[in-house]
Amino acid sequence: MFASYFGKPPEHKASAPGRVNLIGEHTDYNGGFCMPSVLPLHTQVWLASRSDQHVRLASDAQEGGVAEFTIGEEKPAGGWVDYVAGVTWTLGRGGYRRGGFDMLITSDVPVGKGLSSSAALEVAALRGLRSLFSLQLSDLDIAELAHAAETQFVGAPVGVMDQMVCSLGKEGFAFFLDATSREFTHVPMPPETSLRIIDSGIAHHHASGDYRTRRRECEDAARALGVAKLRDLTPADLPRVNALPEPLNRRARHVLTEDARVLDTVDALRAGDLRKCGALLKASHASLRDDFQVSLAEIDWLVDTANDDPDVLGARLTGGGFGGAVLMLCKPGAPPDTAQRVVTRYHEQYGKKAEVLVS
């Protein structure tokens, strides 16, 4: 396929996984705790160097042939090319060697579903460029550069969680991250853990106004409480949080309680207590729905229907919200069609097409 676009074979190949956030939503940009995990879905890139400073990009998910930009002249254009241009722009700002290249992108990480398709592309591109240009980059460096590309070039006000887990996560482990210190731990998932993911069919966008509004509200709440980040709050601050005006009280309360739920989930996973994990997922969704107000009626319906299923221990919205995906933690040995039953009922209820992404 690469040769059909560029008339030559690729020189290097790299990939990066998508991720699902188990728990810890909207906590990373508040300096708090989160715990995502990598998915068996990947973005792949094939690359070949060029003798000039031009970049040519092709994607199996995009129509319209080959896109182009020039190294040193990167400018945001509001499309998918920005994620690669942002990577080369960030490398240039860091003083890393760059040159022209051709790149083909393929992926089974769905776009706009809360599974970190953008971070998977950024990390895969950086891994490929590391090989192509023999760059001295650690996996942590790649995470930081990918995050800078998305926040400073693309303009999406996301936290560092996505890029960290896509670059440093391991299959079979939860990735427990302290977003302030960047310290992380790989927490083994009990072998009987059964996760299912449903795409609601409603795309979300991190650069959208609602996401930006939530982040600004968190900053306003921190300022009103006299702390640098909401991460600095403790349970003893809850009365002060509750006394804030609406909606700042809700936003801060979600972050404070969600941080605590992440820590409790770490303990539950280490103890092999999946039932406790399920209860924490349910509590997380209630907080996202009521305090952070990032859910939608359709998402709530999917979550409630999943939680009513006898084979499900707990379900919640996963990702930034306003659409995206639903995570289900199922009982060990749950039938393969557990998630599909929910999808079928969703179609009957709303006439919308959902999809089981991971079963």
- Which residues are catalytically annotated? 162
Q: What is the number of other CB atoms lying within 10 angstroms of the CB of residue 9?
A: 9
316, 326 contact by CB (below 8 A): yes
Identify whether 247 is preceded by a cis peptide bond (ω within 30 of 0).
yes
CA angle 28, 37, 90 (to 5 degrees): 55
Which of 127, 159, 217, 139 lies closest to 21, judged by CA? Answer: 159
Reduced DSSP (H G I as helix, E B as strand, rest coil) percent helix, strand, coil of the chain, to 5:
45, 20, 35
188, 269 contact by CB (below 8 A): yes
259, 32 contact by CB (below 8 A): yes
Q: What's 230's DSSP letter? A: G
Quickly tell me which residue has 């083909």 as its tokens. 104
